[in-house]
């Protein structure tokens, strides 16, 4: 399959969390390490950013305006002028921070943590309910990463990067409970580490391969269906956007690459777009 084009030479340390905002037709994304939330306008090529004051793993749209965010110390609301921590988590866990997150079909925001030194099992996947109460849904996570829900809303897909694969859970839409964890896709070490994820309108699963230089598409049962190649190795996440939701936006990271590697992949940290045939789904909004 044809590759993706560089649309923004962002040189992000750790570009992540792409999210399409249909209201103003912009692609929101974060650079975790520089504590910034970005808004990219595909029409003008302009990228505006906001410093939120602490590392930010993911953001999601709220019902009215503004964003809910998974920041280092927990869950926060972001407005154009400032950030407010609304539900702290793990502040006592020195060195842990929030990573990837997404809103479920019922309007709850999920995000998980990881240890900055990658200590195994130090993280937790949390659920922020509409009443702003936090529930620990999965403990012993190492690098909490991509997540998304099936078309019928009854399966949650989840990536703990350190486990080298993609898992599925039965998901109870009513109360947000998880059960029956099982492995759907196993990734060989030489192919990279699974990272951020997005489902398309056919229910197929797309996820980024950190260290693997690509995004892969899988059937709901876990068969490889397509590969989108990137000119960078540290591919972090993907999301559908554009007027018809058929543009797959892909984020990447520059952090940790040697001068030699950067010479080979000068676009590392850039934002990419793959114009495909398949449409994605509009992101859910946080209803709290
Ligand atoms: Zn990630």
**Residues 32, 52: contact at Cβ < 8 Å?**
no
Contacts of 217 (CB under 8 A, 6+ apart): 200, 204, 205, 206, 224, 225, 226, 227, 228, 278
Q: How far is CA 242 from the centre of its chain?
A: 17
Distance from residue 36's CA to the centre of ligand 1 (Å): 15
Q: How many degrees, rounded to 5, is the angle at CA 89 between CA 87 and CA 91?
A: 120
Closest CA to 28 of 43, 45, 41: 41
Q: What is the pLDDT of residue 91?
A: 74
Specify the DSSP element, H or E, that contains 259: helix 259-264
pLDDT score at 2 = 62
DSSP state of 44: T
Which DSSP helix (H) or strand (E) runs through 261?
A: helix 259-264
> Distance between CA 238 and CA 207 in Å, rounded?
7
pLDDT recorded at residue 90: 83
pLDDT of residue 116: 85
Q: Out of 129, 148, 160, 195, which one is annotated catalytic?
A: 195
Q: Which tokens in the block code for residue 142?
A: 């190492």
Question: What pLDDT does residue 1 have?
Answer: 56
Give, as one character, the DSSP assignment of residue 22: T
Ligand 1 center from residue 101 Cα (angstroms): 9
- For residues 204 and 217, what is the distance between their CA atoms, to the nearest angstrom? 7
CA separation for the pair 87, 129 (Å, rounded): 10
Q: Any catalytic annotation for residue 195? A: yes
Task: Give the predicted TM-score (pTM) of the model.
Answer: 0.97
- How far, in Å, is the centroid of ligand 1 from the Cα of 58? 9
How far apart (Å, rounded) are the C-alpha atoms in residues 254 and 269? 5
| Length of the chain measured in residues | 288
Query: Ligand 1 centre and the CA of 270: distance in Å?
Result: 15
What are the pLDDT tens digits along the chain (288 aa)?
568 999 999 999 999 999 999 999 999 999 999 999 999 999 999 999 999 999 999 999 999 889 999 999 999 999 988 899 999 998 777 789 999 999 999 999 999 999 988 889 999 999 999 999 999 999 999 999 999 999 999 999 999 999 999 999 999 999 999 999 999 999 999 999 999 999 999 999 999 999 999 999 999 999 999 999 999 999 999 999 999 999 999 999 999 999 999 999 999 999 999 999 899 999 999 999
How close is the Cα of 251 to the center of ligand 1, in Å? 10
Distance 197 CA to ligand 1 centre (A): 8
Helix (H, G, I), strand (E, B), or coil: what is residue 54? Answer: coil
Q: How far apart are CA 269 and CA 287, in angstroms?
A: 32
């Amino acid at each position: 399959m044809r590759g993706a084009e560089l649309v923004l030479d962002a040189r992000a340390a750790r570009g992540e969390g792409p999210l399409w905002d249909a209201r103003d037709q912009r692609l929101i994304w974060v650079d975790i390490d520089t504590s910034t939330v970005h808004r990219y306008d595909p029409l003008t090529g302009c990228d505006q950013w906001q410093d939120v004051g602490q590392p930010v793993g993911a953001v999601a749209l709220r019902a009215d305006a503004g964003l809910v965010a998974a920041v280092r110390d927990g869950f926060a609301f972001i407005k154009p002028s400032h950030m407010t921590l609304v539900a702290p988590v793990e502040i006592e866990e020195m060195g842990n921070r929030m990573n990837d997150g997404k809103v479920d079909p019922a309007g709850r925001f999920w995000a998980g943590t990881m240890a900055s030194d990658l200590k195994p099992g130090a993280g937790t996947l949390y659920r922020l309910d509409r009443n702003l109460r936090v529930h620990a849904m999965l403990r012993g996570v190492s690098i909490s990463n991509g997540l998304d829900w099936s078309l019928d809303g009854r399966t949650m897909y989840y990536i703990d990067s350190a486990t080298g694969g993609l898992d599925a859970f039965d998901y109870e839409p009513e109360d947000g409970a998880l059960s029956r964890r099982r492995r759907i896709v196993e990734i060989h070490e030489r192919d990279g580490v699974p990272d951020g994820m997005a489902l398309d309108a056919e229910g197929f699963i797309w996820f980024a391969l950190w260290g693997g230089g690509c995004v892969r598409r899988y059937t709901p049962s876990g068969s490889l269906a397509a590969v989108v190649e990137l000119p960078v190795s540290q591919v972090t996440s993907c999301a559908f956007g554009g007027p018809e939701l058929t543009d797959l936006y892909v984020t990447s990271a520059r952090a940790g690459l040697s001068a030699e590697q950067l010479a080979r992949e000068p676009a590392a940290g850039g934002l990419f777009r793959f114009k495909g045939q398949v449409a994605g789904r509009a992101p859910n909004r946080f209803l709290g």
